[in-house]
């Protein structure tokens, strides 16, 4: 009887150990690629990637954290060359390490939405990439960086996050990189998706998703930057009452390959801007019309198959659909690495 009891206990213990081992093996590995920003900007010196991970006690319950220091600076100081390098690094990480479940990228919030959308178009994997930051620095009472970072790791490690494109996680909410924008210079709930709503939430019990983005991104994107060494210059100018077209001409003369106009209303310009757009188009510069309002579409014109050929001005004028000016700039930069066809660029603005 005693031998049977010992044997039963041994079998039970072995089963429990096997179950514990299997559960431990299922904990996803998530890697932090730190670039700096307010989330790291402690008085007297910036927190390193390792120190950021150390701010999250209990993270091992959700993921096995890894980390690397890509940069440690303000987001406004990150260069376009570094954007390319970050995208290439993420693609290389996923290629070399098939077991890696997700990647978290820290960024300053000032240009976070720009980096996130660039990665949304250039990361060639459907595995999660989550961009995160904080509005308060580590030396400030109420610093929320550690909570945001933990949420980002949890989202990146969640199987349901796969295939949703690059995401932005702050203030317990999950937003799509394509749609999110910074709406307030100080408030913690600054990152919002106007009109379309959040993708999901990072609550204490679990990660909950409500929808997906229909536009092309990540693994469905045609923008492979593997061999891209530099991004073309694209400038942004705004429409306002009496706006001079000579600013558009100056951008074209200074070497801009594309210009994004943040127009009034649904594509209206002012002053002599229309003349400036014509000048730029004649020089082969593509001009994208977007809305300065922060939301709303500038609808792309659909041309009949038997329509007359476009003039140079028409060929080089692109309707930006619902992309904000800063994101239209990113898509145009990437489009110009692939084509000089106005029709093809307009297609990209419809699909991405």
Cα 162 versus chain centre, distance: 15
Q: Domain 23-220, what fold?
A: Rossmann fold (3.40.50)
pTM of the model: 0.91
3: pLDDT strictly greater than 70: no
Question: What average pLDDT score do residues 15-42 get?
Answer: 77
Which one is catalytic: 5, 8, 14, 38? Answer: 38
259 by DSSP, 3-state: which?
Answer: strand
Report the alpha-carbon distance of residue 154 to residue 172 in Å, rounded. 11
Helix (H, G, I), strand (E, B) or coil at 255: coil
Tally of residues, the chain = 352
Residue-level pLDDT at 306: 73
All residues at 6 or more sequence positions from 295 whose CB lies less than 8 Å from its CB, including other chains: 194, 195, 322
Q: Confirm or reject CATH 3.30.420.40 for domain 234-351, answering yes or no.
A: no
Average pLDDT across the chain, whole number: 93
Tell me the per-residue pLDDT of 213-267, one tens digit each, with 9 for 90 and over: 999 999 999 999 999 999 999 999 999 999 999 999 999 999 999 999 999 999 9
Same fold, 23-220 and 234-351: yes
Percent of the chain at pLDDT > 90 equals 87
Domain spans of the chain, in order of start: 23-220, 234-351
Residues 270-318 pLDDT 10s: 999 999 999 999 999 999 999 999 899 999 877 777 778 888 789 999 9
Q: Look at strands 167-170 and 129-132 and give their pairing.
A: parallel
Q: Among 143, 147, 127, which Cα is nearest to 135's?
A: 143
Question: Is position 38 annotated as part of the catalytic site?
Answer: yes
Buried b (16+ CB within 10 A) or exposed e, 202-235: beeeebebeeebebbbbeebebebeebeebbbbb
Strand stretches in 121-164, DSSP E: 129-132
Quickly state the pLDDT bin for 1 (edges 50, 70, 90): low
């Amino acid at each position: 009887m005693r031998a049977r009891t010992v044997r039963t206990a041994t079998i039970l213990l072995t089963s429990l150990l096997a179950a514990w081992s299997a559960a431990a093996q299922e904990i996803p590995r998530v890697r932090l690629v730190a670039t700096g920003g307010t989330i790291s900007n402690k008085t007297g010196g910036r927190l390193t990637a390792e120190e950021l991970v150390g701010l999250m006690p209990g993270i091992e319950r959700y993921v096995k954290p890894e980390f690397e220091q890509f940069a440690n600076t303000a987001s406004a100081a990150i260069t376009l060359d570094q954007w390319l390098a970050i995208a290439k690094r993420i693609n290389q990480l996923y290629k070399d390490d098939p077991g890696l479940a997700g990647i978290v990228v820290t960024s300053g919030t000032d240009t976070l939405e720009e980096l996130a959308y660039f990665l949304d178009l250039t990361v060639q994997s459907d595995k999660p990439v989550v961009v995160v930051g904080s509005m308060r620095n580590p030396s400030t009472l109420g610093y929320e960086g550690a909570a945001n970072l933990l949420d980002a790791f949890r989202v990146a490690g969640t199987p349901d996050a796969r295939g949703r494109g690059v995401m932005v996680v702050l203030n317990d909410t999950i937003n799509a990189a394509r749609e999110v924008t910074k709406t307030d210079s100080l408030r913690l709930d600054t990152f919002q998706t106007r009109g379309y709503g959040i993708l999901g939430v990072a609550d204490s019990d679990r990660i909950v998703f409500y929808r997906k983005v229909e536009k092309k991104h990540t693994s469905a994107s045609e923008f492979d930057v593997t061999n891209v060494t530099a991004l073309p210059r694209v400038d942004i100018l705004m429409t306002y009452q009496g706006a001079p077209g000579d600013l558009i001409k100056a951008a074209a003369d200074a070497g801009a390959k594309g210009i994004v106009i943040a127009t009034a209303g649904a594509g209206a310009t002012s002053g002599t801007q229309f003349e400036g757009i014509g000048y730029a188009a004649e020089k082969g510069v593509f001009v994208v019309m977007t809305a300065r309002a922060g939301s709303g579409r500038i609808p792309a014109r659909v041309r009949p198959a038997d329509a007359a050929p476009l003039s140079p001005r028409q060929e080089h004028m692109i309707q930006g659909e619902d992309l904000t000016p800063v994101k239209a700039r990113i898509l145009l930069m990437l489009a110009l690495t692939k084509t000089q066809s106005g029709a093809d660029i307009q297609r990209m603005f419809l699909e991405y």
